[in-house]
Amino acid sequence: MQRQAVLQWLRAPEDRLDELWAAADECRRAHVGDAVHLRGLVEISSYCARNCHYCGLRADNHQARRYRLTVAEIMHAARQCVALGYGTIVLQAGEDYGLTQNWIADLIRLIKHDTGLAVTLSLGERRPEELRVWRSAGADRYLLRFETSNAALYARLHPAARTPRPDRLALLPMLRELGYEVGSGALVGLPGQTHEDLANDLLLLGELDLDMIGVGPFIPHPDTPLGVAPCDAEDQVRADELTTYRALALARLICPDANIPATTALATLNRAEGRLLGLQRGANVVMPNLTPAAQREDYAIYPDKACTHEDPTAYDAELRAQLSALGRSVGKGRGDSLRWRQRHANRRRDDYQEAS
Ligand code: 5AD
Ligand code: SF4
């Protein structure tokens, strides 16, 4: 898709958008089909060493309550994931160095041994050696959003880590090289983000040839530097529902084969219909929250998250009924990315040709 076309859709008047939704929905159907893959999301730690200006878990937010789940709590959630028929568990946390290399590796091995689930990690910018060890332990996928492709805006919102490390964009090819399915994405409506920036973010998704894509609206958190940020910069992208659907639909058109969730942040903007509309405008994944109820509220990257009071079993029943009403099936098995499967088939073929 050309940059000009992306910009036009980002700025198109509301009454033209049905055309965009229809194109994204058709592209989704043709490339990844009608199945919606469900992934169980477990937020394993709310500690974070970083200080992203938009996020409620940032280290300097002393109001945030911090927890780390025990192995027993995580395994309980993993069994729940299996019982609900989900093929993937997503282990997400702030950048918490208390989650050590060996602890995570042992956890991955235990989950694999006991459940056979596909394991997705979303643990921030970790050392290349950790990423390698976790992949060897059996982790299948890694999510790391680049958040914004505008380097100056990124630098403004992300104070550097205390120890020098490869930058975020450099980690993505490294993850790919290690054999992970790779996910990334951006925030919609960060204060200071222009439509040109968002168009660049969306085009970058295509250049990175991602397996998974997460795009969600920025939601201000009152205990962060951006909590009270009425931002009227020129050409500022709005952090609203409609703009998020535009970005989602364009992400699908730019990356037809990717797995793209209807995010919780989107559901937070429209509790009744956000996820369902997302699924009809490009998305093909939902990530129901399986974090234990006692800690759920404390994983507050932004306030009032849609899933805070969702009971996994009740939400699962509701979601299945809604999907069936939309004429969509529930994905079976692990729901691997098509790109990843192709890439691995090619790799195996190349290895074979080299060997013979
Ligand atoms: N609003 C919306 N999304 C946020 N994230 C962090 N803070 C916020 C916020 N205030 C997103 C980031 C991060 C993901 C785990 O949560 O994009 O990558
Ligand atoms: Fe930490 Fe992630 Fe929040 Fe940044 S976005 S402060 S790395 S949890």
User: What single-letter DSSP state applies at residue 237?
Assistant: P
Q: Which of 188, 191, 166 is nearest to 177 (CA)?
A: 166
3-state SS class at 124: coil
Q: Which ligand is nearest to the CA of 64?
A: 2
The residue whose CA is least distant from atom 4 of ligand 2 is 52
d(CA 266, ligand 1 centre) in Å: 11
173 CA to centre of own chain: 17
The residue whose CA is least distant from atom 6 of ligand 1 is 55
Q: Which ligand is nearest to the CA of 189?
A: 1
The pLDDT score that the predictor gives to residue 272 is 92
Q: Which ligand is nearest to the CA of 57?
A: 2
Determine contact, residues 226/26, Cβ cutoff 8 Å: no
CB atoms within 10 A of CB 6: 24
**Ligand 2 contact, 171 CB (< 6 A):** no
Q: Which residues line ligand 1 (CB under 6 A)?
A: 54-55, 145, 147, 187, 216, 218-219, 221, 265, 301-302
The pLDDT score that the predictor gives to residue 130 is 98
> What's the rounded Cα separation, in Å, for the pair 81 and 40?
6
The pLDDT score that the predictor gives to residue 312 is 95
Determine contact, residues 157/53, Cβ cutoff 8 Å: yes
d(CA 57, ligand 2 centre) in Å: 6
Q: Which of 323, 325, 319, 291 is nearest to 305 (CA)?
A: 291
Q: Which ligand is nearest to the CA of 147?
A: 1
The atom of ligand 2 lying closest to the CA of 94 is 8
**Contact residues for 5 (Cβ-Cβ < 8 A; gap 6+):** none
**Ligand 2 contact, 95 CB (< 6 A):** yes
Averaged over successive runs of 10 residues, the pLDDT of the chain (356 residues) comes to 96 97 98 97 97 97 97 98 97 97 98 98 96 98 97 92 80 96 97 96 96 97 84 85 98 98 94 96 98 96 89 96 96 88 77 65
The residue whose CA is least distant from atom 16 of ligand 1 is 301
Determine contact, residues 198/213, Cβ cutoff 8 Å: no
**Ligand 2 contact, 58 CB (< 6 A):** yes
